[in-house]
Amino acid sequence: MPNHPVVHAPARSDAPAVFSAPGRVGLGTDSHPFGPGEPLVLGGLTVEGAPRLVGHSDGDVALHAVADALLGAAGLGDLGRLFPADSRTPVGIDSRVLLGAAAEKVRSAGWRPVNVDMTIVAARPRLGQLLPQMAVSIAAILGLDAGAVNVKASTGNLGGSEGAGRSISANRHRLAGTDRRRRRGGRGMTIQLHDTMAGAARELVPLEPGHVRVYSCGPTVYGPAHVGNFRSFLFADLLVRYLRYKGLRVTWVMNITDVDDKIIKAARAEGVSIGEVSERYRELFLADVGTLRMTVPDVMPRATEHIRRWST
Ligand SMILES: [Zn+2]
């Protein structure tokens, strides 16, 4: 009888990845042209003295390609569908927020990023020195060890628009990622929440097993939000993050109150429309969400989009 090599799947949980169930791999490609002005935002870093990339967001091709790869690996569409390049996404939004939101979406669907490998194609500027720092930045956004992110750069043999130095593309980004693994949770786990009506801690029992739906109050957009406003938003963020960390799927809805006496008053005082005032402060709110690295809620309905339904 021939001597076949036999591979046993080790029973140990710290078994090498090669013996464990294969994960899923996603691909992401993106390209942005250089525009006038500075700085370059790439791989989560701001590079002063290098030309800016043009886009609806801050133009960070590297993070966009990673986000697409991540969403692709989990079968969750792409970044453009999550953040359309229109008024629903603030102009100039920090792409670290976009990637963070994509990662949250992937996590809430029960997947976990494992590693990232990517190549940035650009004739200029020289990126070699910046690559390790980009890897650290991307790892931090995804909650991975720095060693799990590999960033390479190529001049693309000086061909195409990248070679002519007119654009940077981050192509063939590949995210070997997403072990579907419910972590630190499962059966037997209980989460206690304080029930203010009963005045006692109660076990959280989701209406649908494994899926928690959270509704939390969002801002009334008549002016800039202050620290006190964000205290409640960040509390909801903390709760959502903890539930996801415990392996639960969470759908988080946060409403935007975009019609209110104060908004009407502000619009009258400025001689502009109510929509102009509310949109300005909604965008400012989202920018603050980004600055604070808050999780972006899954659904952010505006009150004005639902009034007709309530009143008819
Ligand atoms: Zn892009």
231 pLDDT tier (thresholds 50, 70, 90): very high
Per-residue confidence (pLDDT) for residue 12, from 0 to 100 = 39
In a domain, 72, yes or no: yes
Q: Are residues 174 and 116 in the same domain?
A: yes
User: Is 307's pLDDT higher than 90?
Assistant: no
105: domain CATH number is 3.30.1330.50
Mean pLDDT of the chain: 81
* Local structure of 187: helix, strand or coil: coil
User: Is 17's pLDDT higher than 50?
Assistant: no
**Which two tokens mark 232?**
């409640």
Highest averaged pLDDT of the listed ranges 145-149, 175-179, 204-208, 228-232: 228-232
In a domain, 157, yes or no: yes
In a domain, 14, yes or no: no
Please, are residues 72 and 24 in contact by the beta-carbon 8 Å criterion?
A: no
Q: Are residues 79 and 154 in the same domain?
A: yes
Per-residue confidence (pLDDT) for residue 21, from 0 to 100 = 41
228: domain CATH number is 3.40.50.620
Q: Are residues 238 and 286 in the same domain?
A: yes
Per-residue confidence (pLDDT) for residue 99, from 0 to 100 = 94
Q: Are residues 135 and 283 in the same domain?
A: no
Q: Are residues 38 and 152 in the same domain?
A: yes
Mean pLDDT of 25-39: 88
In a domain, 227, yes or no: yes
Distance 51 CA to ligand 1 centre (A): 16
Q: Are residues 159 and 233 in the same domain?
A: no
Distance 134 CA to ligand 1 centre (A): 17
Q: Are residues 168 and 30 in the same domain?
A: yes
Structural domain including 120 reads 20-180
Distance 137 CA to ligand 1 centre (A): 17
Mean pLDDT of 94-113: 89
If one counts the domains in the chain, the total is 2
User: Is 188's pLDDT higher than 60?
Assistant: no
Q: Among 63-77, 101-115, 155-169, name the one with the lowest average pLDDT.
A: 155-169
Q: Are residues 86 and 175 in the same domain?
A: yes
Mean pLDDT of 295-304: 86
- pLDDT more than 70, % of the chain: 81
Q: Are residues 165 and 43 in the same domain?
A: yes
Distances (CA, A) of 8 to 5, 14, 46, 196: 10, 14, 48, 53
Mean pLDDT of 146-160: 79
In a domain, 235, yes or no: yes
d(CA 188, CA 200): 21
In a domain, 140, yes or no: yes
Q: Are residues 71 and 220 in the same domain?
A: no
CB atoms within 10 A of CB 151: 26
Distance 58 CA to ligand 1 centre (A): 9
Distance 171 CA to ligand 1 centre (A): 11
Task: Give the DSSP H or E segment for 63.
Answer: helix 61-73
Distance 231 CA to ligand 1 centre (A): 32
Distance 43 CA to ligand 1 centre (A): 12
Distance 299 CA to ligand 1 centre (A): 22
In a domain, 167, yes or no: yes
